Amino acid sequence: MEEVAQKGEVLHEVYLPFSEDELKGLFAAVGGPGWTPDQHLKYYKRSAAAYKAYLAVVRDRKGKPISEMRGPCQKFWTASCLMTVYHSPERSKEFSTLLQKAYGPKPPINGISTWDDCVSRRLHLFFEPNLPSPESYKEWLRLNLRERQFIPYVLDSADGKANLEGPTNVDALLVNEENGFAVIIEAKVLSDMSCQVTHDVLRNQIARNIDVMLEENADLTYPLAKRDPERTLFPLLTPMIFKNNPAARFYGYKFNEYKNAPSTLGRDLPHGVNQEWEKVARRLGWLTWEEFAG
C-alpha cells in the first residue's frame, strides 16, 4: 500500500492532523536493541492510508457491513486526543482542566500544590513506552511462582529463568522533567483489560500499570528517567458510557475496588509491603474521551 504522508504532510486531516515528524518524536527509545520510532510510525501511516483508500471508493458508509468498515475506519483515539492538547497554545490550562476532572482541584501528591505546576514548562508526551517490571515483583514471583501459576508446561518453561515478566507497554506517558510529575495513561475504547500474564494468572493489567507507576526508572533514557514514582498518576481513559456503567467492564470493577478499598491493592501487589495503599489509591483517576473533546 502506498504511504500517504511525506514530511510536513499531516497523517490525516481530521483524525490525526499532525506530521510524521511530530508523531515520530513522541516515541521514546525504550524498545530494545535495533528499535527505531519508524516501527511505530508505520502502523499509523498504514492505518491512515487504508482509511483514505476506503473513503475514495465508499462515499456513504450507511448500511455497510461492520466487517467491511472495522479495519479501515479505526480512529487514532489516543494519539489524536493527547497530541491535540499537547500542541495547544493553552496546553497547561487544558491539561489542568482534564486532570481536575479526574482528581479534583489539587494534585493528590506531595510537594506540588497546583495542576499548573504539574503540567507547565518542560512537559513531554510519549506514546507506547516500555516501563520495566519492578525488580521486587520479579524476585517475589520467582519465589512464589507455584502460587501464581499451575499450568505444567508454563512452570517447566520458567525453570531457571531470572526474568519472568517483561516490561509493561503503557499507552501514553506525560512527564515533567523539572519536577518529576508524570501521568501514565491506560486507554480503552471497546476492549476490556487483560486479566493475567504468562507466569502470573492472578496479575491483572490495572495492577501491572500501578506497579510500574510505583517503580523508579533511573536507567531509562532522558527524560523518562526524570519521572518521580511518588509524583506519578494513573488514570484510565475510556468512553463515558463505561465510566457511567463501570460494571460493564472488568477494569471498571477493579478500578472501583482499588479506589474504594485500597487494601485490595496490597492483595493484588503482594510484594509491595512498604506501600501506603490509601495514598496510592488517591493517585488513580478516570478520564473520558468525551472530556477531551470538550
Asked if the structure places residue 272 within a domain, the reply is yes
Average pLDDT for 213-221 = 92
Within this chain, do residues 120 and 172 fall inside the same structural domain, yes or no? yes
Instruction: Give the model confidence (pLDDT) of 182-215 as tens digits.
Output: 999 999 999 999 988 899 999 999 999 999 999 9
Report if residue 83 sits inside a domain.
Answer: no
- Work out how many domains the chain is built from and give that number: 2
Domain that holds residue 44: 10-69
pLDDT of residue 230: 97
Same domain, 278 and 179: yes
The runs of H, that is alpha helices, within the chain are 20-24, 38-57, 66-69, 77-86, 91-103, 115-119, 135-143, 145-148, 152-158, 205-213, 240-244, 250-260, 263-268, 277-281, 289-292
| Contact in structure between 171 and 193 (CB atoms under 8 Å) | no
pLDDT at 6: 45
Q: Long-range contact list for 38-44, CB < 8 A, 24+ apart?
A: 40/127, 40/128, 44/11, 44/16, 44/76, 44/79
Q: Are residues 269 and 139 in the same domain?
A: yes
Residue 255 lies in a domain: yes
- Report the SS3 class of residue 106: coil
Say what the pTM is.
0.91
Give the DSSP H or E segment for 11: strand 10-12
**Cis amide bond preceding 105, omega within 30:** no
